Amino acid sequence: MNMDKKTYARYVEARAPRSPIVKDCVWAFLVGGGICLFAEGLNQIWTRGLEMTRDDAGTLTAVILVLVAVVLTGIGVFDRIAKFAGGGTLVPITGFANAVASPAIDSRAEGFVLGVGAKIFTVAGPVLLYGTAAGAIYGVIYWICTLFA
């Protein structure tokens, strides 16, 4: 069977399953909001119950969110939640923790140096690189703008 690109694209589009976009968006919103609600609850416990400063409470909350995301990734639960909730699990800190932990877990059979050490930042490495570079460029632009203000 010989088809041109347009015919093939129409063929694929006609047979591809439709994505329930509204349902997916609702679940992403609810799960992402639930993660944020959990984080805010922790923040309130630290600031009101333990009388921590907002900065210390925010740091402790971030550490706990990373820990929970890494543990859930390690036992295979995070991926099941992500399949169900989609983008809702990408609340920045939990999604980033999963992006760092997943390649490390997947490559542990290759050893700690050539497996875990070499591949731990496979997904997150570009984010770190370009995020840092963008921040530096923004900082220089901001600095130059303040010189003339």
Q: Predicted confidence band at 135 (pLDDT cuts at 50, 70, 90)?
A: very high
Helix or strand or coil: residue 19? coil
Q: Which two tokens stand for residue 95?
A: 């999604």
Domains of the chain by residue range = 20-106
Q: Evaluate whether 32 touches 90 at the Cβ level (below 8 Å).
A: yes
Higher-confidence residue of 61 and 87: namely 61
Each residue's pLDDT tens digit, 93-105: 888 888 888 887 7
Instruction: Tell me the residue length of the chain.
Output: 149
Average pLDDT rounded to a whole number, residues 69-98 = 87
Helix or strand or coil: residue 122? coil
Q: Predicted confidence band at 1 (pLDDT cuts at 50, 70, 90)?
A: low
Q: Which H or E run contains 36?
A: helix 21-44
